[in-house]
Chain A
Amino acid sequence: MKKKFLLEGLDCANCAAKIEEAIKGIDGVKEATVNFMTTKLVIHGEDEMMPTIIASAKKMVKKIESDITMKMA
């Protein structure tokens, strides 16, 4: 399943790269991309694990850069 999110307050490109790396490492995530220019995050993960993936992704984003909030696109 693919889900799209907006990363509000994404201002530094390096953070975007870090977030992408971190989310790729979450259990059940097949692919994750952060587009710095459109501030969009796309997570492609196992269907049944999606709720936990989203929860840990949100935590991960806050941890990496507390100014960024992850919202449903």
Chain B
Amino acid sequence: MRVAGIDIGSRFIKLVLIEKGKTVFFKKTEASFNPLENCFELLKDIRADTIIATGYGRHLLEIHQDIKTITEIKAFAIGAKTIFPKCRTIIDIGGQDTKVISLNEKGIVKKFEMNDRCAAGTGKFLEIMAKALDYRIEKFGSEAVNNSKEIQISSMCTVFAESEVVSLISKGMSRKNITIAIHRAIANKVVGLLRRIPIEDDIVFAGGCAKNRCLKQMLEQSIGKTLKIPSVPELTGALGAALYAEQEVPLTGIGQNLQNFHNEEVENYENRCKESVNR
């Protein structure tokens, strides 16, 4: 049996295909202004016995294709627990939502917190700030690993923070220091959410923003614990949805396979990170 999980986020659509617990295919595309069309584009070449949709746009597919859905909270819980079987806490900074999730020892969601209403402290915020400072999002953060506390971004509203950034630039503050301040503002916001749930090991940092090393480091410093990051953190939700689709199959078997697969990936990833630091 081959099953698919599709995570329709506000910024990207992610697709994962699994067969007998192994990830056989994954793909990511921009959600853009027409997510439904992009979903169809993504799905058109794949063959799957069943599909589960998750993410902000999950109901699009439910309405148009009668595809069953689960929330990204549950999808991330299943995905993270499968990749890191000891996972009890998940941090997901996505495009428009930041979520922190607490799991029991069986991997069932016990409590979660999400940002309210606005894009403050989300990936979108990071993206807008990167743009204001003329960084490519992939690079944003890798230059800011050095921790300086010189300046602070006090406003968490994306709109106001952007003007704060503009005024800092005009005051002659260095791009690097402003970048650090932006990351710190986001990290503080996430820690604020984390304080409302039990923080237990293993803590998994998933979602696209987990690729940002500066954020990882700041979060680790703030909570005094190490974060585990899946090899392709933005696929955690799609993987969780696919695994949910395959639910009848005993999860332990899948977990073993995936653990190996992903541990290798993680090692590669960590090596790549180390290399980038040394460079």
Partners in one complex: no
